[in-house]
């Protein structure tokens, strides 16, 4: 049963995320970054809601009182889509560091740059 729920979630998120980027986030390229930041955070909230309802995934954040405000660098070992999206919810204006290839993807690349990602060319040994 969990494999079926996982499949349903993955199919939903692929279609939903594609449509969300194309029809909601791309038009926001014409507006200030704050609108994009809000919309990407809304996407993450929807993702976590669907994860809970379809897959049954629940989580608990401890130590939230230790999250600093203002410019700060947080580092985490990326292991899943969950840890990518959770910082969109927890932090005010996160700026992710991503491999440069991601910023060259159609639609997603423009949205990511507008959202404030920092791209790194890994071929140059910079990351």
On whether residue 100 sits in a domain, the answer given is: yes
On whether residue 119 sits in a domain, the answer given is: yes
Number of folded domains that form the chain: 1
On whether residue 101 sits in a domain, the answer given is: yes
Exposure on the CB side of residue 114, measured as CA atoms within 13 A: 22
In this prediction, residue 18 carries a pLDDT of 94
On whether residue 72 sits in a domain, the answer given is: no
Q: Domain containing 6: what range? A: 2-64+79-124
**Helix (H) or strand (E) run with residue 117 in it:** none
What is the rounded distance in angstroms from the CA atom of residue 14 to the CA atom of residue 85? 15
Kindly tell me if the per-residue pLDDT of 21 is higher than 70: yes
Return the higher-pLDDT residue of 81 and 45: 45
What does the pLDDT average to over 65-86?
Answer: 85
- What is the value of pTM for the model shown? 0.85
- Torsion angle defined by CA atoms of residues 74, 125, 84 and 37, in that order, rounded to the nearest 10 degrees: 80
47 burial level (CB within 10 Å; 0-12, 13-18, 19+): buried
On whether residue 69 sits in a domain, the answer given is: no
On whether residue 107 sits in a domain, the answer given is: yes
DSSP state of 67: P
On whether residue 74 sits in a domain, the answer given is: no
What does the pLDDT average to over 24-46?
Answer: 95
What is the rounded distance in angstroms from the CA atom of residue 100 to the CA atom of residue 60? 32
On whether residue 31 sits in a domain, the answer given is: yes
Residue 19: band (very low, low, confident or very high) from pLDDT cuts 50, 70, 90: very high
In this prediction, residue 69 carries a pLDDT of 84
In this prediction, residue 127 carries a pLDDT of 52
């Amino acid at each position: 049963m969990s494999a079926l729920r996982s499949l349903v979630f993955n199919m939903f998120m692929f279609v939903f995320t594609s449509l969300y980027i194309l029809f909601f986030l791309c038009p926001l390229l014409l507006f200030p970054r704050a609108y994009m930041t809000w919309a990407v955070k809304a996407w993450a909230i929807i993702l976590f809601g669907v994860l809970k309802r379809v897959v049954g995934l629940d989580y608990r954040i401890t130590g939230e009182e230790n999250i600093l405000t203002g410019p700060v660098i947080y580092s985490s070992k990326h292991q899943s889509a969950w840890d990518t999206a959770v910082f969109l919810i927890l932090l005010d204006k996160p700026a992710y560091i991503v491999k440069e290839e991601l910023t060259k993807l159609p639609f997603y690349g423009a949205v990511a740059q507008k959202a404030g990602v920092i791209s790194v060319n890994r071929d140059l040994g910079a990351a």
